[in-house]
Amino acid sequence: MDQLAIFKALSNKTRLEILQWLKEPELHFPPQDHADFDEVGVCVGKIQEKCGLTQSTVSEYLALLLKAGLLEATRIGQWTYYKRNEKAIESLSDFIKSGL
Amino acid sequence: MDQLAIFKALSNKTRLEILQWLKEPELHFPPQDHADFDEVGVCVGKIQEKCGLTQSTVSEYLALLLKAGLLEATRIGQWTYYKRNEKAIESLSDFIKSGL
DNA sequence: TAGGGATATCGGAAAAAGCCGATATATATT
DNA sequence: AATATATATCGGCTTTTTCCGATATCCCTA
């Protein structure tokens, strides 16, 4: 767990929002067929629409959050679904409380 | 509490280290006269020595952590002492656990 | 009130991050 | 195999961050 990489990933408004949207996908994204929110998360395209940034930027943001360990990715067909890594987020909280 | 400002403040190796050093000042700084670690913290000069960066840089880093709410400052004579704002750090941990 | 030490602020050069359009890759369909 | 769609990667321009030296401010003591 690279805390510096995690904090860098979190030090951007859009990336913070993405994490928060993914907390309750059904509240922030339209219903999706063929993929369960809780199981695999939300696909890149839907996240991109919500962000209002270009596809490449959002893809890079998601890759960064993934690399920091805050998200998990699942490829299904031509879609990549991203969801939160709740364990990592809890670990971060614990680290701040006792290690920071 | 501006989470984005907080994460930006934390997204730097030296600033992270400063926060961690200040957690146990007696372990990381030489004993100081006329000022209690627990009460007021550590003065800028000592933190600067430990960092190995210039005085201006460290002063700015401390100001940034202060502005983010993660540190508190006390001026005594010509010295400014900085210590952790434990309440803010705990709030951050809580925010990550339940709000992020 | 003059001088010295501690800290803060300013201006700038270099490095990194933010975002984009173009292009590449992967998968599905025909 | 050709095409279409979703996502990833690349190159580059712009903005922000990093970190410095110089200078200003604040406070103490002579």
Residue with CA nearest C10 C1'?
B56
The full set of domains in chain B, from first to last, is 3-94 (1.10.10.10)
* pLDDT tens digits, A37-66: 999 999 999 999 999 999 999 999 999 999
pLDDT interval class at B34 (50, 70, 90) = confident
Confidence of residue A1 (pLDDT cuts 50, 70, 90): confident
Give Dmax over CA atoms of chain B in angstroms: 42
Q: Would the CB atoms of B4 and A20 count as touching at under 8 Å?
A: no
Ranges of beta strands (E only) in chain A are: 42-43, 71-76, 79-84
**Which alpha helices (H) appear in chain B, and where do they start and end?**
3-10, 13-21, 25-28, 37-40, 44-51, 55-67, 86-98
pLDDT tens, position by position, A60-99: 999 999 999 999 999 999 999 999 999 999 999 999 999 9
pLDDT at A34: 79
Nearest nucleotide to B76, CA against C1' atoms: D27
Asked whether the predicted pLDDT for residue A33 surpasses 80, the reply is no
Partner residue opposite B4 with nearest CB, options A16, A93, A100: A16
